[in-house]
Structure 1
Amino acid sequence: MRLQGKTALVTGAAAGIGQAIALRFAQEGADVVIAAHRDNAEAEQAVAQIRQTGRRVFLVSGDVGKVADARAMIAAGVQAAGPLDILVNNAGVEVRAPFVDVSEADYDRVLDTNLKGPFFLTQAFVQHLQDRQPARQPGDQSGSHPAGRIINISSVHEELPFPHFTSYCASKGGLRMMMRNLAIELAPLGITVNNIAPGAIETPINRNLMSDPTELSALLRNIPLGRLGQPGDVAGLAVFLASADADYMTGTTLFVDGGLLWNYAEQ
């Protein structure tokens, strides 16, 4: 029970990787706030699944790409569950299009969800941690300070080019640099910031890929371990980063990709 006594808010937790992380956190003893885009049957099903672990679970909803919604979700999570210790920025979208055809609306949707959302969710989370216990000033060794964990679900495409998904790659590359910068800025507050970069994971975002045998076969040839990842492959690493085992780890991207990053070649 590595997360006993902790409370986590996980965005995009109604399905896929986010749901797997939320469930694994609960199994490790954490109370969980599921932050979903909508309060619908899928989100309620995720809540019911986590409730079976015996942990407290709460549901908040909103569009992470809207700053007011992002701040409201943190506030609602605190009001429902009490003090938060862990934030997982998992919600994400991608839109396929040749670069010359990308619309402003699609660009804004991807960058708002994948980068602006985590930025302002993290800001609200850090403000919450500071409100719980004021941060010590530089050079002051006398007092304690807030401690928290921030975990961003990035992608191999923070490193790996992905033609026809330029806005997605830009958002994940931005998330990488945001993580690195915040890891340095927030370390004096006792807050760690790390990214998990999944490769091809069997989730709803990859539904089209999984339904195309030719495309799937080509991808699998690029994965040395020979299979798609499962949401649980990511969830186990998230538990580690959220636990005391990772107290001295910050500013790092950890890849969960079956070897894809260093073996990939466009067909």
Structure 2
Amino acid sequence: MKYILLLIALITTNLNAQNVLKFDKRNVQCEDKWVAYQMTKDSIYNFGFIYVDNQAGLTLDYQGDFKIDKKGVFKRMEKTEKQKTASFKYRLQPNNIAIAEIPEEKFKELNIEKIPSWLAIYKIDENSMEYLYGRGFLYNGYQEFEKALTYLEKAEKKNPNYKGLQTELAFSYNALGKFDKAEIALQKEFKINPKDCYTLKELAYTYNHLEKRDKSIETFNKMVSDCGNKAYIQETAYNLAFRYFQLKDKPNFEKWDKEARKWSDKENQFTQNLSQLAIEINKM
């Protein structure tokens, strides 16, 4: 019985050590955080600091490796000669690989600062319009729309007429299904930049989802006459075709199916999707 209890105690201690790290975050959720990656087959954890480089985007500053002993202490491993003389920075693309934030109480064990001193050069003018708009644009691109809004809405309070800001706000609102807010933002931007392709695309998308189909088509026609961006025009025609598909309106679906295909010289995701939708609508 004594040996069983001892074995249970050892297993529990080891589990507690591993549970210090909770692998429940994605890299885009860890800006300005120390993170650890899943344990290797050698029971080693790679770790580093994630930050945003104003030019490169989300970046990992790799700082080395550590192990967790049976008492749960983080033991940083000695750097190799190469690690001692070089800096390892990796541009990150958003993905669903689970990583863990390193708890603050473990910073001393790893001999790391909560905020590295070098990070200051990436935080210059944090309250400037360029910084706030840039961060919002970046996180919209990473499909982190709620986080993008934390920057964009702050920027709007400073200067609502900043070029492109209202369209970027609308992009977030559209992605989150807040079409009324998107319409208000886009109407503001439209007054400033009535021929901007990105603004017109988002406006047509917004009208389509507000069931203002006539306005969506009117905006599409304006894109054709004033815009010239074939990719945006095709995307808008596709969105109209898709909505008519949802409404089981076969004549209008076929009309916009044809229109969308007209704006592409080769097969792409839109034309492939339309082919499948055409098969499905014929079954209805």
TM-score class normalised by the smaller sequence: under 0.3
Q: Which has the larger radius of gyration?
A: 2
RCO comparison, higher one (Cα < 8 Å, 6+): 1
Determine which structure has the larger helix proportion and give its number: 2
